[in-house]
Chains A and B, each alone.
Chain A
Amino acid sequence: MFSAFMINAWEASTIVALIAGIVGFFTVLRGASFAAHALPNGAFAGAAGASLVGISTVLGLGVFAVMGAIIIASLGHRVRSDVATALAMVVMLGLGALFLSMTTEYAPQIYSLLFGEILGISSTALVPTAAMGAVCAVAIFGLYRPLMLSSLVPDTAEARGISAVRTEIGFLLVLALVTTMAVPVVGTLLIFSLLVSPAATARSFTKRPGAAMGISVAFALTTVWAAIAVSYVTGLPIGFFVGAIGAVLYSAGRAWASWRQGARTTHRKADRMASSSPSPRGRWTS
């Protein structure tokens, strides 16, 4: 399981999970899950186009992911963001269908992008993966506060000089970069699950933003590592385990949250009964 060729797999998937956990936190905070689905899937079309003209599929992925991000951002202030995302995806998938129809030969390297090639990562591919990941991490940490303010209270942020339009473009470009970095490693479907489910799960375990991002990273890493290990042992696909572990963690999180909620309410009720003196400001001080 830790043989030389597996080492690349561990390293590449660790980088991807780390970045997905960080970027995923803001993906969920901004309600951008659909964009996190559309960009990798749409960028797949770019990879198909690239292989048609004989250039690097990573380049094709990157060009299409950035194009998708720009379409979503530029439509975003005219139509609702989910509609903008859907329209961008429709354009990209349409081109993808065209490109695939034009390639006569069977192109396994394109189809492998759907599920990734974790086990086939070469050590030369690790360097660009790590570099792109580093750029994403720096961008997210640099924009941490403006991004957070703009995601939560866009009008107030705007009044303080944080442009909602620029923030949206900036974030979508990061998402495009994550796509370009991660799709060759884990594929379009897994990067979507890694962006959304650990970050969504983390919300059940904490009410602090910094901690939520940390937990999101921890869950993304756990999910990927466990999925690779179990897949290695059982021979079943990694994707299945990423999805299954994500679902189990999420359900556990909800259960934990509602259990704690219940515990807290009974606690509060007891408190309230103990101090029964009504105060006119009770609404604010309770």
Chain B
Amino acid sequence: MTHPPETGPEEILRVEAVRVVLSGRLIIDDVSFTCLGGEFVGLIGSNGAGKTTLMRVILGLVRPAAGRILVAGEPRSRRNPLIGYVPQKINLDPDVPMRARDLVGLGLDGHRFGPPWPSAKRAARVDEMIEAVDATGFADSRVGSLSGGEQQRIMIAHALISRPRLLLLDEPLANLDISSEREVVKLVASIAARHKVAVVVSTHDMNPLLTVMSRVVYVAAGRVASGTTDEVVTTRTLSRLYGHDVDVIDVNGRVLVVAGRENEGLHHHEYDNGEPPP
């Protein structure tokens, strides 16, 4: 990968030749990509491909066996206020005594000592963030009793309120129906553009992201590819990555990635999770 001198948006994330070994097993090998402010990166891979692991490496929770990670030009360190993170699994007790807005507030100052002191400034910032993720309607509900999609929004607000430069969302679309899926994708894309935040979203299904992502990082056992969406999302590249025929088709102006005819017959499914062959 070449390193052209930066003009325009700042480079927020640089992953260089990262290899991760967990309990003696090679999980990720030779992954490299960069991500600019305002860019929306899709981290695509099937179950167990190493998406969560790669995010934990970027967060500094897992040490790579080789390679390095730069966040805003600096070697990444634990407790990096530049990174906001929404994990794949959120387990909240339904009757936990905490409103959604309290959790958003903890995103601002949860690492500090002592109880939070209410202030008009803090409340205003929480309100502003809640509005930004369109969560005003349920901000005062118990956070544990919210639906998966609503919790997802609150967690995005929680991650964004400290104004990070890089936002990592691990499978944010996993539990969403199609309309909330579209809502969340639109929301995250607009936040990325508006606040010049670099966003990395992991998913096993790239179709919902095709309209918004500018860069694709594909992880699968032994195969890694990264590039702009136009480079990667082509019938040839994807067929090679997925290990079987994949068609990139245009349906009324929308690009869709579908399994090729050989595998699925004439009436193939629109969605292909891209399992690589064993």
Contacts and interface: CB of A to CB of B under 8 A. Distances in A.
A145 B59 contact: no
Nearest to B86: A156
Interface string A152-169: 110111111110000000
A286 B137 contact: yes
Which secondary structure dominates where chain B touches chain A?
Answer: loop
B134 A159 contact: no
Contact of B113 (A31, A143, A206, A211): A143
B110 A157 contact: yes
Interface in B85-121: 85-87, 89-90, 92-93, 95-99, 102-103, 106, 109-116
A148 B97 contact: no
Given A29-B96, A208-B97, A286-B137, A161 B78 contact: yes
Nearest to B153: A284
Contact of B79 (A141, A144, A160, A284): A160
A209 B115 CA distance: 10
A160 B89 CA distance: 17
A29 B91 CA distance: 12
Interface residues of A, number: 37
Contact of A208 (B89, B99, B111): B99
B135 interface: yes
Interface in A184-224: 202-204, 206-212
A170 interface: no
Interface in A223-263: 257
B155 A159 contact: no
Interface of A: 29, 31, 141-146, 148-149, 152-153, 155-162, 202-204, 206-212, 257, 280-281, 283-286
Given A203-B95, A284-B150, 14 more contacts: A31-B93, A144-B114, A145-B115, A146-B113, A153-B103, A155-B87, A157-B110, A159-B61, A159-B85, A202-B97, A208-B99, A208-B102, A284-B135, A285-B137
